[in-house]
Amino acid sequence: MKRFFFLLLLAIMGLVSCDDSIEENIPNEEFSALNKENKKRCFTMEKLEDNLSKDKNLSSKMSVIEEHTMNFIKKGNFKRLANGAIQIPVVFHVIYRSSSENLDLSVLQGQIDALNEDFNLQNPNRGALPSEFSSVEANAEISFTIQQVIRVQNTKKRRWRPNDDMKYTSKGGSDAVNPQEFLNFWIVNSMPYKKGQVLGYAQFPGGNRATDGIVVAKNFVGPRARTATHEVGHYLNLRHIWGDGGCGASDYVDDTPDADGPSRGCPSYPTAECGSNNMTMNFMDYSDDSCMYMFTTGQSNRMDAVFASGGFREAMAN
């Protein structure tokens, strides 16, 4: 009997330690029944930590980019290109197993439309903006167009880890296309991770060009989806509004209030933390899609910096 319980204990320990392998066997429909607190919205910071551990030069590269950003903002020269809004060409990589997972062009265009709304002060929900934040609401003046759609059928894989495999043809995904000038946008069916599901993740400026871009799960792409807006924010060097810490942690932006952590659902206003009201409607929070509808001037300035002379995404702006 003791041997039986010992073996049972080993089996349970094995299940816990091999959590990643179990996730592959969980049907998609069962994810909605998992503990919502464990459901991740964005995997960008975890992916950054992983990249930093693998690339010993990445930290110094990002420090140079941050110094450039601070100098750009300090100079206060936010003059835009002569033709107005920055135009970002998007390459969609649609990776699917069955035909039902192969998103129609209209869905992709709907996602582009949503990005254009959010980065050009046209979000349909912005009328609910509290007057407290109206003075810092900003038009990022960034527009998106479809450059190319690449469709890859992978009949062996439906669920993907947030480990960049989808960014390589050799691993069943699709190689990045001209990442210095195009925003590469990978769409996969799902990304299960630790008894939850990753909605999307992005790569900050400074990382490997071969993996540069954003990844979003299929169910969170479309005309009313804001996951891509959040991830493009990271791609353009924005941090989570709570600074990925408690009160006092910084998102490197002066006009976003301090927050103790991410918002969930659709918080009512005012929601106070850290001695001020939370900006729960900011695209870099975790509020529901319909309750996120603004960037601030400080965030817009940080995005401008990556397109400026010497910025990591200067070629894209030109």
Catalytic residues: 231
Half-sphere exposure of 154 (CA within 13 A, CB side): 24
Question: Which two tokens mark 128?
Answer: 């609910």
Give dist(CA 242, CA 260) in Å, integer. Answer: 6
Half-sphere exposure of 166 (CA within 13 A, CB side): 34
Beta bridge partners of 95: 152
Locate the DSSP E strands across the chain: 86-96, 142-153, 183-188, 192-193, 196-197, 200-202, 214-217, 272-273, 276-277
Instruction: Confirm if 116 and 140 have CB atoms less than 8 A apart.
Output: no
Question: Which two tokens mark 286?
Answer: 């975790």
Locate the DSSP E strands across 168-249: 183-188, 192-193, 196-197, 200-202, 214-217
Q: 243: Cβ–Cβ under 8 A, 6 or more apart, which residues?
A: 249, 250, 251, 259
Give dist(CA 273, CA 315) in Å, integer. Answer: 40
Burial class (CB in 10 A: 0-12, 13-18, 19+), 160: buried
CA 312 to the chain's CA centroid = 18
